[in-house]
Amino acid sequence: MPTPNPAAFAFLAARQSQPAKLFSGPVPSRAELEPILAAALRVPDHGKLEPWRLIVLTRPDMERLAAMAEARALELRGDAEKIEKGRGQFDRGGLAVVVISAPQDVPKIPLAEQKLSAGAVCISLLNAATAAGWGANWLTGWTSHDAEFCARAFGCKGAEAVAGIVHIGTPGPAAPERPRPDLARVVQWGLA
């Protein structure tokens, strides 16, 4: 018989993201962030490849990235909305962790599994930060999907890509509960 952990289950059953734009200061210190990062890296990783890397962004980094996002949007002939969407999360952010999917060329380990491992880091980071009492929000946006921006900003090369940018800060007001998936619609019991 399994040994349940009711507190962990209740936490996961009630988990919801907080909007990063509502975070306030302070943000976690390095000493507070390191155990969160260590917990976040306890993810499935077939072959122990560690097919990801993390970049911790502080306020000065965010200011630099906001300017880089605006410059890239202008290069792409983006309108004011594209510029704002690019700058927005960096203008408002105080601390974030960029999770870079960094797959390795190992034929035995499928690329899809390596990318999913990076996604697992994102959700684990979100959960670890929330469990530690911080607000956390996993964002991307067009800058995360623009290979040139990612190369310039985060040093992405080859098959590397941004899996997510997890903003962490002092939570704002609780977000209203949103509708959750209907199990009857998304779960199939057995093969048809």
Kindly report the CATH number assigned to the domain that includes residue 158.
3.40.109.10
Q: Is 89 annotated as a binding residue?
A: no
The answer as to whether 16 is a domain residue is: no
Structure tokens at 70: 């605006």
What are the helix (H) ranges across the chain?
A: 6-14, 30-40, 59-75, 80-92, 111-131, 142-145, 147-154, 183-186
Structural domain includes residue 135: yes
What residues are paired with 57 via a beta bridge?
A: 96
Q: What is the pLDDT of residue 117?
A: 98
Number of domains in the chain: 1
What 46-49 contacts at long range (C-beta under 8 Å, 24+ apart), as own/partner pairs, is 46/109, 46/113, 46/114, 46/117, 47/106, 47/108, 47/109, 49/104, 49/106, 49/109, 49/114, 49/117
For the chain, 192 residues long, give each residue's pLDDT as a single digit of tens.
999 999 999 999 998 888 999 998 899 999 999 999 999 999 999 999 999 999 999 999 999 999 999 999 999 999 999 999 999 999 999 999 999 999 999 999 999 999 999 999 999 999 999 999 999 999 999 999 999 999 999 999 999 999 999 999 999 888 788 899 999 999 999 997
Q: With beta carbons less than 8 A apart as the criterion, state whether 163 and 52 touch.
A: yes
> Known binder of ligand: residue 37?
no
- What predicted TM-score, i.e. pTM, was given to this entire model? 0.95
What's the alpha-carbon Rg for the chain, to the nearest Å?
18
Does 152 carry a binding-site annotation? no
**Could you tell me if residue 55 is inside a domain?**
yes
119 assigned to some structural domain: yes
In-domain check, residue 28: yes
Encoding tokens for residue 179? Answer: 């509708």
Distance (Å, whole) CA 65 – CA 143 = 10
Does 99 fall in a domain? yes
**138 marked ligand binding residue:** yes
Provide the pLDDT for residue 183.
95
Q: Which residues of 144-154 are buried (b: 16+ CB within 10 A; e: fewer)?
A: bebeebbeebb
Q: Residue 124 annotated as binding?
A: no
According to DSSP, the residues that pair with 186 across neighbouring strands are none
Task: Report if residue 185 sits inside a domain.
Answer: no
Task: Give ∠ CA 73-97-147 in degrees, rounded to 5.
Answer: 35
Residue 134 labelled as part of a binding site: no
Annotated binding-site residue? 16: yes
Task: Tell me if 42 is assigned to some domain.
Answer: yes
Q: Is 46 annotated as a binding residue?
A: yes
Q: How many residues does the chain have?
A: 192
> Can you give the residue range of the structural domain that contains 123?
22-59+94-172
